[in-house]
Amino acid sequence: MSKGMYVPKESQPKQGGGAGKAREGEKGGKRKIVAQNKKARHDYAIIDTFEAGLVLTGTEVKSLRQGRTSLTDGFVQIDRGEAWLHNAHIPEYNQGSWTNHSARRKRKLLLHREEIDKLESKAQETGHTIVPLALYFKDGRAKAEIALARGKKEYDKRQTLREQQDRRESDRAIAAAKRKQRA
């Protein structure tokens, strides 16, 4: 472009990176993970996963943004047609006053009716449970990833660990072979 030439705003290059893409009608959005429950993936065979919104107070959101949360003992229970997250530890907010929340209170999950009905019917089968897998922010809103899961037996856990170790060893061997070819 020459100096002093008028260029309409629509044809000018946009400023900034890709941060605005999630807000421009794209439904995917970026996930900022706050807490994960790695123990759940080890102890349970995941059958189906769901994304649920969380009903939180202001101090809980601020505490979540600090990222000091734990889902290790958490579980989901369906009570009178509503899903509730129990035992998720969101610590009290440091700068909170008398409006602070209790750390292990039960929190309501926001799901569609069909999802709640499906979870409730499957969870009543023997060996099935609903566990939280992750807490994260998506487009500025707190979300929980929950899963319908079946408990693993001890030999299933050993088998899974063995498969992971075999996969890692084969990946290492392939990477070493590729390095040798390049040299």
Per-residue pLDDT of 101-119, as tens digits, reads 566 678 888 889 998 888 8
Cα torsion through 171, 173, 178, 183, rounded to 10: 140
When comparing pLDDT for 10 and 117, which is higher? Answer: 117
Residue 111 · residue 83 · CB < 8 Å: yes
Is the pTM for the entire model greater than 0.75?
Answer: no
Distance (Å, whole) CA 99 – CA 105: 14
Least confident of 1-10, 31-40, 46-55, 89-98: 1-10
